[in-house]
Amino acid sequence: MSQKLCILLQTNDEYEFLWEGLFLSWHLNWLWTEFPWPVFVITETKEFSSCHPACNWTTLKVGEDVKSASHYSTKLVRGLNQLEEMGYEFVFYGQDDSWPECAPDSSILRSGWNLFLAENLDGLYVHQHSRHFPFSLGPTKYVLAGKRVRQFMVGSRFAYNHGNGWWRIPFLKAVQVTGEHASDNEPEGTIRAWEQGFKIWIVNVDWYDQSKIHAGGILKPEAEEMLSQLRFTFRWETEEKFACFPVAFDGSIIPVDIGSKEFVESTHSQRQKWYSENHGAHFSFAWSSLLTPKQ
């Protein structure tokens, strides 16, 4: 993989409530062993790594003066300028509500990156194309791991959009104008792409869904559940002695080891009492009764 490629994620200070889920979803789902691309995150003034003790991503702070939502494009350009100064030429770009639920197939990432370079593409989305998206697409001769690659036609709406994918930094900068709101950036940036010409392709891969994450500045219930599971999975993978849910929802203590000596040697009436008074459905009384109780 090229040393001139990095992952770039864009957020705002006021969207800090998305950061823990963003970090954990990428940390746990991305294929870091095969694709260890460095990660940079655009913020205005806050340090992104404050979202989690394990986060070692690099924050690109672009300034207090661009905190307004109308400065989406300005923040992106400033972040890209910083990356160019570090020697980067390409980004795998995404948004703060792009929480991976899994990783794309490794062969798609590997062959997609090679295709991006070989075909001298301006952009290659690795993004689900839903039936309601108003894209105008044409064929290509390529199929990546069983996924057909298509190309955006000049005149297609949202040929430039905020879906995840590879971009050449000079092209991504060229379709920006400073002081543009996020909601205007996609349609206006698309028109600018039409005018200058482009080569933007897409492979249809379902690995994240931005519509699940937030609305009105708060996490949706589905995202709350995702975040809870991500926290659990992180502890499961990183803490050697982690015991899942040692405290029940009612505050009672669940045995961290159902097969403990105390439980195995308990009487049937003791088990029945533990089950009915403390643990409810958190373990199966029918199953535990199969253990031979002390008479």
> Where exactly are the structural domains of the chain?
5-231, 243-288
Please, how many CA atoms are within 13 Å of residue 157, restricted to the half-sphere of its CB?
5
5-231 is classed CATH 1.10.260.40: no
Range in 63-72, 93-102, 149-158, 237-246 the model is least confident about: 237-246
Range in 60-64, 114-118, 248-252, 263-267 the model is least confident about: 248-252
Mean pLDDT (the chain) is: 87
Cross-strand pairs, 58 = 40
Confidence of residue 129 (pLDDT cuts 50, 70, 90): confident
What string of DSSP letters covers 143-184? EETTEEEEEEPTT-TTSS-SSSEEEEHHHHHHT--TT--HHH
Q: Is 15 helix (H, G, I), strand (E, B) or coil?
A: helix
Range in 101-115, 142-156, 193-207, 238-252 the model is least confident about: 238-252
The three state secondary structure string of 32-89 is CCCCCCCEEEEECCCCHHHHCCCCCCEEEECCHHHCCHHHHHHHHHHHHHHHHHCCCC
For residue 239, the model assigns a pLDDT of: 83
Confidence of residue 269 (pLDDT cuts 50, 70, 90): confident
Cross-strand pairs, 124 = 166, 201
pTM of the model: 0.84
Over residues 252-270, the mean pLDDT reads: 62
> Is residue 118 over pLDDT 50?
yes
Amino acid at 196: Q
For residue 275, the model assigns a pLDDT of: 63
> Is residue 232 over pLDDT 70?
yes
Q: Is 27 helix (H, G, I), strand (E, B) or coil?
A: helix
State how far the Cα of 22 lies from the Cα of 98, in Å rounded to an integer. Answer: 7
Range in 38-47, 149-158, 268-277 the model is least confident about: 268-277
Q: What is the pLDDT of residues 175-217, one digit of tens each?
A: 999 999 999 999 999 999 999 999 999 999 999 999 999 998 8
